[in-house]
Amino acid sequence: MPEPKIFRIIDKIVFDYSLIEDGDKILIGASGGKDSTVLIEYFAKRKKQNRDNFEFLALYVESGLGEVFNEELKAMIESWDVKIQTVNANVITRLKPNKKMNCWWCTTQRRTELKNYAVKNGFNKIALGHHLDDVLETLLMNALQKGELSTMTPKFKYEKYPVTIIRPLSLVDEKTIIAHAKENGYKNMTCTCTYQNNSSRKEARCRLQNLTDDNYKQKRRLFDALKNIKTEYLP
């Protein structure tokens, strides 16, 4: 059976940006959602191919808001010979007085937990499930709200910590992930917290779809443009 197309797209960026290198110890941020599950499936498959010398672990950072990792999903991931580790970020108890919970803050807390776990346990890379739409939405938000050309990169080295963030799904659009998740019977586990209100990202999603006709080729060209900056033709 040939590799699914989604894995060939991931292969490309792993190669282009050397996302997996000899001796890597990679911590995958597992959220229970489709994106990080694709990531786990890819790493599990790649590990079995014995193409490279690396280790990985999937870490589920509970928010402490009451959500539980879907049992069927867990069983499926274990059928790939992957164990899911769990830590609790207790985002509620960390909240300072008079501060409101929000998606951004919760994400930041869980990211910190992930980073601390990596540093403490000798992981040199953290793999996150951000995909092409996330990358381009962030680009639009940063440009239109901050007047800044920037976004999340496929490979980002923390300055203060001996850890590099990698985003192997940077070239994969969400539609392809959804199709793969359906075909392979991924069980859904959506964020159950009652604090969700990320209108800014929803707006950016809408702008991105209008901008690119929600078309993969156009999104890829927009991504490519970020690597092909002609400064002499910019103000």
Compare residues 114 and 204 and give the one whose CB is closer to its own copies. 204
Q: Does 87 bind its own copies (CB under 8 A)?
A: no
Window contacting its own copies (CB under 8 A); options: 35-43, 175-183, 185-193, 224-232? 224-232
Of the candidates 27, 140, 169, 189, which one interacts with its own copies according to CB under 8 A? 140
Rounded to 5°, the CA angle 114-146-224 comes to 75
Q: Rounded to the nearest whole angstrom, what is the least distance from the CB of residue 16 to its own copies in the complex?
A: 9
Q: Rounded to the nearest whole angstrom, what is the least distance from the CB of residue 213 to its own copies in the complex?
A: 9
Pairing type for strands 155-157 and 164-166 reads antiparallel
Ramachandran quadrant class, 83 (left: phi over 0; alpha: psi -120 to 50; beta: rest):
beta
Q: Does 230 bind its own copies (CB under 8 A)?
A: yes
Q: Rounded to the nearest whole angstrom, what is the least distance from the CB of residue 218 to its own copies in the complex?
A: 5
**Residue that is written with structure tokens 């910019």 in the block:** 234
Q: Does 145 bind its own copies (CB under 8 A)?
A: yes
Of the candidates 6, 135, 166, 177, which one interacts with its own copies according to CB under 8 A? 135
Of the candidates 142, 184, 198, 200, which one interacts with its own copies according to CB under 8 A? 142
Q: Does 164 bind its own copies (CB under 8 A)?
A: no
Q: Does 71 bind its own copies (CB under 8 A)?
A: no
Distance of alpha carbon 27 from alpha carbon 125, whole angstroms: 6
The residues, ordered by sequence, that sit 6+ positions from 216 with a Cβ below 8 Å of its Cβ are 173, 175, 176
Half-sphere exposure of 9 (CA within 13 A, CB side): 20
The residues, ordered by sequence, that sit 6+ positions from 69 with a Cβ below 8 Å of its Cβ are 32, 60, 84, 86, 189
Largest CA distance in the chain: 56
Of the candidates 152, 178, 191, 193, which one interacts with its own copies according to CB under 8 A? 152
Query: Binding residues for its own copies, how many (CB under 8 A)?
Result: 38
**Residue that is written with structure tokens 């950072």 in the block:** 61
What residues between 5 and 34 interact with its own copies by CB under 8 A? Answer: none
Compare residues 51 and 157 and give the one whose CB is closer to its own copies. 157
Alpha carbon distances (Å) from 14 to 46, 52, 102: 11, 12, 32
Compare residues 1 and 234 and give the one whose CB is closer to its own copies. 234
Q: Rounded to the nearest whole angstrom, what is the least distance from the CB of residue 232 to its own copies in the complex?
A: 8
Distance of alpha carbon 86 from alpha carbon 100, whole angstroms: 25
Q: Rounded to the nearest whole angstrom, what is the least distance from the CB of residue 206 to its own copies in the complex?
A: 8
Residue 21 three-state SS: coil
Q: Does 144 bind its own copies (CB under 8 A)?
A: yes
